A and B are shown apart, each in its own frame.
Chain A
Amino acid sequence: MKSGAKILFESLAKEGVDTIFGYPGGSVLPIYDELYDSDIRHILVRHEQAAVHAADGYARASGKVGVCLATSGPGACNLVTGIATAYMDSTPVIAITGQVPTSLLGRDAFQESDITGITLPITKHNYLVPRTEELGRIIHEAFYIAGSGRQGPVLVDLPKDVTTGTADYDMESDSLVSLRGYQPTLQGHRLMIEKAIQRIAVADRPLIYAGGGVISSGGSEDLVRFAEKWNIPVTTTLMGLGAIPCDHPLSLGMLGMHGTEYANYAVTECDLLIAVGVRFDDRVTGKVEAFAPNADIIHIDIDPAEIGKNKRVDIPIVGDVKIVLRQMLHEDNHESVPRQWNERIEQWKRDFPTSYPDDGKLRPQFIVKELSDILDGRGIIVTEVGQNQMWAAQHFCFRRPRQWISSGGLGTMGYGFPAAIGAAVACPGEPVFDIAGDGSFQMNIQELATVAQYNIPVKIAVLNNQYLGMVRQWQELFYERRYSYTELTPVDFVKVAEAYGVPGLRVDRPEDVRPAFEAALAADGPFVLDFRIEREENVMPMVPAGAAINEMILGERK
Chain B
Amino acid sequence: MKPHTLSILVENKPGVLSRVAGLFTRRGYNIESLAVGTSEEPDMSRITVVSIGDDEAIEQIKKQLNKLIEVVKVTDLTYVDHVAREIALIKVQAEPGSTRAEVMQLADHFRARIVDVGKKTVILEVTGDTSKINALESLLDQYGIKELVRTGKIAMPRGSRAGAPKSR
Spell out A's residues near B (CB within 8 Å). 116-117, 120-121, 124-125, 128, 130, 145, 179-182, 303-305, 308-309
Contacts and interface: CB of A to CB of B under 8 A. Distances in A.
A116 B14 CA distance: 11
A303 B67 contact: yes
Given A121-B22, A128-B14, A181 B60 contact: no
Nearest to B67: A305
Contacts of A303: 67
Interface string B49-67: 0000000100110011011
Contacts of A308: 56, 59-60
Interface string B6-41: 000011001100110010001000000000000000
A181 B18 contact: no
B69 A182 contact: yes
B151 to A, nearest CB: 25
A145 B69 contact: yes
Nearest to A184: B67
A130 B72 CA distance: 22
A523 to B, nearest CB: 45
Given A304-B63, A305-B63, A308-B59, A120 B22 contact: yes
B168 to A, nearest CB: 15
Given A120-B19, A181-B10, A309 B60 contact: yes
A499 B78 CA distance: 66
Contacts of A121: 22, 26
B68 A305 contact: no
Nearest to A126: B15
A180 B22 contact: no
8 contacts: A120-B15, A120-B19, A180-B11, A181-B10, A303-B67, A304-B66, A305-B66, A308-B59
B64 A181 contact: no
B70 interface: yes
Nearest to B72: A181
B71 interface: yes
Contacts of A124: 69
A180 B70 CA distance: 8
Contact of A116 (B10, B15, B71): B15
B40 to A, nearest CB: 15
A99 B58 CA distance: 37
Contacts of B72: 180-181
A305 B69 contact: no
A-B CB proximity, top 8 nearest: A305-B63, A181-B72, A125-B69, A182-B69, A181-B71, A180-B72, A305-B64, A181-B70
A117 B67 CA distance: 18
A182 B11 CA distance: 11
Given A179-B69, A180-B11, A181-B10, 15 more contacts: A120-B15, A120-B19, A120-B22, A121-B26, A124-B69, A125-B68, A128-B14, A145-B69, A181-B11, A181-B68, A181-B70, A303-B67, A305-B60, A305-B63, A309-B60
Nearest to B63: A305
Given A181-B11, A305-B60, A117 B69 contact: no
A180 B16 CA distance: 14
Nearest to B41: A180
Nearest to A145: B69
A121 B64 CA distance: 12
Nearest to A305: B63
A179 B66 CA distance: 13
B131 to A, nearest CB: 33
A369 B14 CA distance: 53
Given A181-B10, A181-B11, A304-B63, A117 B68 contact: no
A117 B18 contact: yes
Contacts of B71: 181
Contacts of B11: 180-181
Contacts of A309: 60
A181 B63 contact: no
A121 B28 CA distance: 13
A305 B71 CA distance: 14
A139 to B, nearest CB: 15
Contacts of A181: 10-11, 68-72
B50 to A, nearest CB: 21
Contacts of A128: 14-15
B39 to A, nearest CB: 13
A491 B18 CA distance: 46
Residue with the greatest number of chain B CB neighbours at <10 A, chosen from A130, A145, A309: A309
Contacts of A125: 68-69
Contacts of A180: 11, 72
B154 to A, nearest CB: 21
A2 B38 CA distance: 35
A182 B26 CA distance: 22
Contacts of B59: 308
A125 B16 CA distance: 11
Contacts of B15: 116, 120, 128
A291 B152 CA distance: 42
Contacts of B22: 120-121
Contacts of A305: 60, 63-64, 66-67
Contacts of B64: 305
B138 to A, nearest CB: 38
B18 to A, nearest CB: 7
Nearest to B27: A121
A181 B10 CA distance: 8
Contacts of B18: 117, 120
A309 B57 CA distance: 9
Nearest to B25: A121
A304 B61 CA distance: 12
Residue with the greatest number of chain B CB neighbours at <10 A, chosen from A130, A180, A308: A180
Nearest to B11: A181
Nearest to A154: B69
Residue with the greatest number of chain A CB neighbours at <10 A, chosen from B67, B68, B70, B71: B67
A120 B56 CA distance: 24
